[in-house]
Structure 1
Amino acid sequence: MSHPSPRPPVLVQFDPKRRCAELRLCRPETANLLDQGVIAALTNALRELAGQAGLRAIVLSAEGDTFCAGIDLRWMQAGAHASPADNLRSAATLARLFKAIHDSPVPTIAKIQGDALSAGLGLVAACDIAIANDHARFRTREVRVGILPALMSPYVVQALGPRLAKYLFLTARPLSAQEALQVGLLHQICPSGELDGLVASCVDDIVQGSPASLPATKALVQTVAHRAVTDQVVAETTACIADFRARGQAQAGIACAIDGVLPPWMEDHESSR
């Protein structure tokens, strides 16, 4: 008697008409805890999607009542019996996942239907945009477990600033969705029944951007972030736009704007709606 194949820990769904993909955590029975298999599946999927021609948005979502409850502590506990080299390799897998999200040339949107705890908060902070229902909570608990929020720290500090990050890390107090919106961790919140529509609307706005401008704009922000406005920064950004506006796609977009017509990439989007 054959048995059904087990569900993959991460489901990848493409929407070719809207030029977006969804990565969905599919372990609601574990509150979508991250272990070696889930981390590998997410990282591999992100790397594959980064090379997809024409893809303009990636949505990171989850099944069940919890977005992600963090790392599976049983997996981490196994590190007590591992060699230092094996421990380092194990930790590096999650570090690579966060960086793959952060460095993805395709804009990333966290669609948060429930609590994002510990490494789950790291996933949210690593994404470019975060949208949640209004009952989601955000919390780190590492200090209470006796460990550090090391791997997520670059992204949480970048999103919230060092002072608020220290408050959250040291107290392990939760942020409500409203509080997370106020401090900039989230960009939008809504009642649960409206989350799908709100995320879809955000994707629709993003995919109207030119395929060349979207990754270049994301890279631009990362280049100038936290730098003083020096002559060097001014020179770099001047050279950037001087080069970019002479390219074919930019010239096509400029001509269409002057003529009052949609550029080709927006015409394709409108025809698919």
Structure 2
Amino acid sequence: NGTAMGGGAGLIAVCDIVIAAENARLAFSEVKLGIAPAIISPYVVRKIGEAHARVLFVTGERFSATRGREIGLMHTVIPLSELDTAVEKTLSDLLSSGPQALRAGKALALNVGRMNQETARRYTTETIAALRVSAEGQEG
């Protein structure tokens, strides 16, 4: 909700889940201050891609939450009046899941796409096997 400029917009790129109000405005505005978004650039480029970063890093243009969603920076954009409810639902969803399963899901999302097929097959097989025999997996 509100405005996130420079490093504030960069912090969004390291978040696993981003829910934004429609009125949010963002910018990678460092160039307007005579500097560059250097520290945040690896995370932002990974999240939105090189093509979008090339434009936004050099123009410093402000953009809407809707555009942020279109380029992959945000996951959900909703009216401000629904923001608290959406955050509470997401938190409830997370809290109703097993901590080991959440960690494993995040690790899968971060790692599998960078693996060759054989390594990914082995990694995913080992992951599900370990989770199924864990106390958490047995309880679920």
TM-score scaled by structure 1?
0.49
Shift of 1:173: 1.3
Q: Is 2:119 aligned against 1:244? A: no
Shift of 1:230: 2.2
Q: Determine which of 161, 164, 181 is the counterpart of 2:49.
A: 161
Q: Determine which of 235, 239, 247 is the counterpart of 2:122.
A: 235
Shift of 1:144: 2.4
Q: Distance in 1 between matches of 2:67 and 2:132?
A: 40
- Superposition CA RMSD, Å: 1.4
- The residue aligned with 1:141 is 29
- The residue aligned with 2:80 is 192
Tell me if the contact between 2:104 and 2:127 (Cα under 8 Å) persists in the aligned partners: no
Give unpaired runs (5+ residues) of structure 1.
1-112, 254-273
Over residues 111-170 of structure 1, what are the superposed CA-to-partner deviations in whole Å (9 max), with x where a residue is unaligned? Answer: xx1111100011111111111110111101112222121111121111101111111101
Shift of 1:215: 1.7
Task: Report the AA paired with residue 120 of structure 2.
Answer: V
Q: Distance in 2 between matches of 1:240 and 1:198?
A: 30
> Displaced runs of 4+ in structure 1, greater than 4 A?
none
Shift of 1:196: 0.9
Structure in which a larger fraction of residues adopt helix: 2
- The residue aligned with 1:223 is 111
Over residues 71-99 of structure 1, what are the superposed CA-to-partner deviations in whole Å (9 max), with x where a residue is unaligned? Answer: xxxxxxxxxxxxxxxxxxxxxxxxxxxxx
Q: Distance in 1 between matches of 2:71 and 2:90?
A: 20
Q: Distance in 2 between matches of 1:157 and 1:117?
A: 16
Q: Distance in 2 between matches of 1:160 and 1:137?
A: 16
Structure in which a larger fraction of residues adopt strand: 1
1:138 aligns to what SS in structure 2? strand
1:214 aligns to what SS in structure 2? helix
Shift of 1:184: 1.7
Give unpaired runs (5+ residues) of structure 2.
none
Shift of 1:216: 2.1
2:18 aligns to what SS in structure 1? strand
Q: Distance in 2 between matches of 1:221 and 1:229?
A: 14
Tell me if the contact between 2:10 and 2:28 (Cα under 8 Å) persists in the aligned partners: no
TM-score scaled by structure 2?
0.91
Q: Distance in 1 between matches of 2:52 and 2:115?
A: 22
User: Higher RCO, 1 or 2 (CA under 8 Å, sep at least 6)?
Assistant: 2
Q: Distance in 2 between matches of 1:248 and 1:125?
A: 33
